Amino acid sequence: MGEKRDSLQQQYDLVSQKLGRLRQAYAIETDVSTKLKLEVQIQETQTEQNRLNRQLEEIEQKLL
């Protein structure tokens, strides 16, 4: 159980870092088509982050 949680936490942290970088890139981007691509990537990354968060919460509930 612990290893799976650690692995998920690691993935969650990486996805969170990626999201931060995408948002920074989006904030300074001026090209409209690039901005649209970044929007899509941000949405996909947020979805992935939410999925990992749910999995982590499920593991936490089982540990209680």
Does 31 score more than 80 pLDDT?
yes
Sign (positive or negative) of CA dihedral 36, 38, 42, 44: positive
Confidence label for 13 from pLDDT (cuts 50, 70 and 90): very high
- What is the value of pTM for the model shown? 0.89
**Terminal Cα distance for the chain, rounded:** 12
Beta-carbon contacts of residue 31 (< 8 Å; ≥ 6 apart) = none
pLDDT of residue 54: 97
User: Could you tell me what percent of the chain has a pLDDT over 70?
Assistant: 98
